[in-house]
């Protein structure tokens, strides 16, 4: 018998199968400004207390994530793994210094300082994510916001393979995972490769109307339940995202 | 007409002689070598010190720098393949070497691998931009530290990362010109494969350098001698004879080569 867990949006749970089956992986498409990040946080918060929640972020600072969640009154007891900050410290900062040195030359007093140590090898952030996921104790809930960072920095085939690992892990232990990604920016092979792996595909879309935006949540794929796909309108109120 | 030509010829000869005689020299500090060069390397020259391994290129270069530092000329050694600490340790066996020169920054060692890391040049092949950045960096160091004597050991391992002969040419020309303008006398150490023809690995270096000092091995009656020969040196007259080079605790000594029973090995 299948066990279910919540997405964090009650009305969406109802529209699906009174929640989502444990072990499912969800792909969330969204255009900038449509609220994918908020969705991710709402989803994360819904697991607090019942599941071990891990939140990989590639864009935001930890404090911004926590602050947003507090604004909506959500429980913030989640583990945040900040790939963005680490990427800056380990890679970008180094590149910044290198580009400055290349432009201006190395200042004389820094010639004799040892360069960064060799053991500071390049970190594979993709491996880091799968490693962190592998350490999770079930029941767990994984959020990756967003996959775009990995798609842009690593071999696409490797990203897909890592996603498959994460999905298999979630499936085996009955955890749930939410992955956010931009739609229609990658080659079709990669995109369909990802779509094929995940169990549910959601998309947030905004349409310009006369005096504002209309927001739509599109359910594009529900594994084994083609009848569940559909379009819903949503709003953001003080509780977060709600379907109307 | 003929008279005028002859007169011009004489004047040109005198001018040339005066130029050579008055051009400031950079004394290597190795006495016999200075006398071979009629007083030393013309200041600002870029000289290729070339030879196969074990012929004493690094020792010669380091003595050149140390002697310079002792004479108050700030000297810099850019090492590509060896760690400075090891080189300093090796030099300590020579009487003239004083570790204080290093401490007081009169003799400066720079590990090029560290520079590579800082400039993002840890790659096998350099682009033209990379080459320019490296040249600029070397020039910057020479200028800001007031370096009068420079050794790059070895130029071959830098050239190894350049992708074409044109790049090598560009690199050495650009570097040589800037160093010469700053009055910095430079030795470029060049590794020669025993099988190589010519005086340098890529054939380009030798054509551009202002001078070539060839170091080699010579077998004589079961003994392997080191030899040294000044092949070319712009801006001075010099002997082109081959000399035997001896590494002694007081430094490098040269003696005229007695040729009987010798077989050249590279």
Helix (H) / strand (E) containing B4: helix B2-22
Q: Are B75 and B147 in contact (CB under 8 A)?
A: yes
Q: Give the integer Cα–Cα distance in Å for A11 and A241.
A: 10
Q: What is the pLDDT of residue B20?
A: 65
A117–B contact, CB cutoff 8 A: no
Q: What angle do CA A73, A207, A181 make, to 5 degrees?
A: 60
Top-ranked range on mean pLDDT: pick from A33-37, A211-215, B64-68, B238-242: B64-68
Q: What is the pLDDT of residue B167?
A: 87
pLDDT digits (tens, 9 = 90+) for B62-73: 999 999 999 999
Low-confidence ranges of chain B (pLDDT < 50): none
Q: What is the pLDDT of residue A33?
A: 81
Decide the pairing of beta strands A140-145 and A176-181: parallel
**How long a stretch of residues is chain B?**
266
Q: Tokens standing for B94?
A: 């020579």
Q: Give the integer Cα–Cα distance in Å for B36 and B95.
A: 24
Structural domains in chain B, CATH included, are 24-265 (3.40.50.300)
Best mutation target, B118, B135, B139, to test chain A (most A CBs within 10 A): B118
Under DSSP, is residue B253 helix (H, G, I), strand (E, B) or coil? strand
pLDDT above 80: residue A82: yes
Q: Are A185 and A152 in contact (CB under 8 A)?
A: no
Distance (Å) from the alpha carbon of B25 to chain A's nearest alpha carbon: 28
Is B118 in Cβ contact with A110 (below 8 Å)? Answer: yes
Q: What is the pLDDT of residue B21?
A: 65
Q: Give the integer Cα–Cα distance in Å for B135 and B1.
A: 50
Domain A4-84+127-243 has CATH 3.40.190.10: no
pLDDT digits (tens, 9 = 90+) for A147-186: 999 999 999 999 999 999 999 999 999 999 999 999 989 9
DSSP-assigned beta bridge partners for residue B220: B223, B262
Q: What is the pLDDT of residue B32?
A: 93
Distance (Å) from the alpha carbon of B43 to chain A's nearest alpha carbon: 25
SS (H, E, C) chain A: CCCEECCCCHHHHHHCCCCEECCCEEEEEECCCCCHHHHHHHHHHHHECCEEEEEEECCCCHHHHHHHHHHCCCCCCCEEEEHHHHHHHHHHHHHHHHHHHHHHCCCHHHHCCCCCCCCCCCCCHHHHHHHHHHCCCCCEEEEEECCHHHHHHCCHHHHHHHHHHHHHHHHHHCCEEEEEECCCCCCHHHHHHHHHHCCEEEEEEEEEECCEEEEEEEEEEECCCHHHCEEEEEEEECCEEEEC
A121–B contact, CB cutoff 8 A: no
pLDDT above 80: residue A205: yes
Q: What is the pLDDT of residue B141?
A: 95
Q: How far apart are the first and last CA of chain B?
A: 52
Instruction: Indicate the domain borders of chain A.
Output: 4-84+127-243
pTM over 0.90: no
Is B141 in Cβ contact with A111 (below 8 Å)? Answer: yes
Is B144 in Cβ contact with A106 (below 8 Å)? Answer: no
pLDDT above 70: residue A48: yes
Q: Give the integer Cα–Cα distance in Å for A88 and A94.
A: 8
Average pLDDT over every residue of A104-131: 81
Place of tokens 């792909």: A27
Residues of A in contact with B143 (CB under 8 A): none
Under DSSP, is residue B106 helix (H, G, I), strand (E, B) or coil? coil
- Measure Cα distances from B55 to A39, A60, A131 in Å: 71, 60, 53
Q: What is the pLDDT of residue B122?
A: 87
> Which is nearest to B246 in space by CA: B223, B212, B266?
B223
Name the pLDDT band for A128 (thresholds 50, 70, 90): very high
Residue B15, phi then psi, degrees to nearest 5: -60, -45
pLDDT above 60: residue A119: no
Q: Give the integer Cα–Cα distance in Å for A53 and A145.
A: 13
Helix (H) / strand (E) containing B34: helix B31-36
- Measure Cα distances from B219 to A65, B197, B222, B225 in Å: 76, 19, 6, 6
pLDDT above 70: residue A118: no
ipTM for this model: 0.74
Write the DSSP symbol of residue B243: E
B83–A contact, CB cutoff 8 A: no
Residue B125, phi then psi, degrees to nearest 5: -125, 130
Is B120 in Cβ contact with A106 (below 8 Å)? Answer: no
Show Cβ contacts of residue B250 under 8 Å, excluding neighbours closer than 6 positions: B94, B95, B96
Is A108 in Cβ contact with B137 (below 8 Å)? Answer: no
pLDDT digits (tens, 9 = 90+) for B34-67: 999 999 999 999 999 999 888 999 999 999 999 9
Q: Give the integer Cα–Cα distance in Å for A207 and B46.
A: 70
Q: Give the integer Cα–Cα distance in Å for A78 and A75.
A: 8
């Amino acid at each position: 018998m299948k066990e279910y867990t919540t997405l964090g949006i009650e009305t969406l749970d109802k529209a699906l199968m009174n929640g989502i089956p444990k072990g499912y992986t969800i792909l969330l498409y969204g255009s900038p400004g449509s609220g994918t990040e908020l969705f991710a946080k709402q989803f994360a918060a819904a697991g607090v207390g019942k599941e071990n929640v891990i939140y990989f972020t590639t864009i935001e600072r930890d404090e911004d994530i926590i602050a947003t969640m507090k604004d909506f009154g959500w429980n913030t007891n989640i583990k945040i793994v900040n790939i963005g900050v680490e990427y800056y410290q380990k890679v970008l900062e180094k590149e910044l210094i290198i580009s400055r040195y290349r432009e201006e030359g190395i200042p004389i007093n820094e010639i004799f300082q040892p360069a960064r140590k060799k053991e500071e090898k390049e970190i594979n952030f993709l491996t880091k994510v799968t490693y962190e996921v592998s350490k999770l104790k079930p029941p767990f809930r994984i959020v990756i916001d967003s996959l775009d960072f990995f798609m842009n920095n690593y071999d696409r085939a490797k990203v897909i393979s890592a996603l498959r690992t994460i999905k298999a892990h979630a499936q085996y232990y009955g955890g749930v995972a939410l992955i956010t990604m931009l739609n229609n920016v990658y080659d079709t092979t990669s995109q369909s490769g990802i779509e094929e792996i995940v169990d549910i595909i959601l998309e947030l879309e905004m349409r310009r109307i006369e005096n504002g935006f209309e927001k739509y949540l599109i359910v594009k794929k529900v594994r084994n339940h083609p009848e569940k796909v559909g379009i819903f309108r949503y709003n953001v109120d003080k509780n977060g995202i709600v379907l109307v | 007409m003929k008279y005028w030509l002859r007169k011009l010829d004489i004047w040109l000869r005198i001018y040339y002689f005066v130029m050579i005689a008055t051009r400031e020299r950079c004394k290597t500090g190795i006495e016999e070598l200075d006398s071979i060069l009629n007083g030393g390397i013309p200041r600002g020259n870029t000289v290729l010190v070339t030879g196969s391994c074990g012929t004493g290129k690094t020792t010669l270069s380091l003595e050149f720098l140390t002697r310079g530092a002792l004479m108050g000329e700030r000297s810099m050694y850019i090492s590509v393949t060896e760690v400075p600490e090891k080189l300093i340790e090796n030099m300590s066996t020579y009487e003239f070497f004083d570790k204080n020169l290093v401490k007081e920054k009169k003799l400066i060692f720079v590990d090029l691998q560290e520079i590579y890391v800082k400039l993002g040049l840890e790659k096998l092949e350099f682009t033209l931009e990379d080459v320019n950045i490296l040249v600029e960096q070397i020039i910057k160091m020479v200028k800001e530290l007031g370096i009068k004597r420079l050794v790059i050991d070895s130029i071959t391992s830098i050239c190894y990362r350049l992708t074409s002969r044109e790049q090598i040419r560009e690199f050495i020309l650009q570097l040589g010109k800037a160093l010469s303008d700053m009055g910095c006398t430079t030795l470029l150490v060049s590794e020669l494969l025993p099988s190589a023809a010519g005086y340098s690995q890529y054939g380009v270096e030798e054509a551009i350098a202002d001078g070539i000092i060839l170091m080699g091995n010579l077998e004589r009656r079961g003994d392997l001698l080191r030899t040294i020969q000044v092949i070319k040196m712009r801006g001075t007259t010099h002997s082109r004879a081959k000399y035997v080079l001896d590494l002694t605790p007081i430094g490098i000594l040269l003696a005229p080569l007695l040729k009987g029973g010798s077989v050249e090995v590279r």
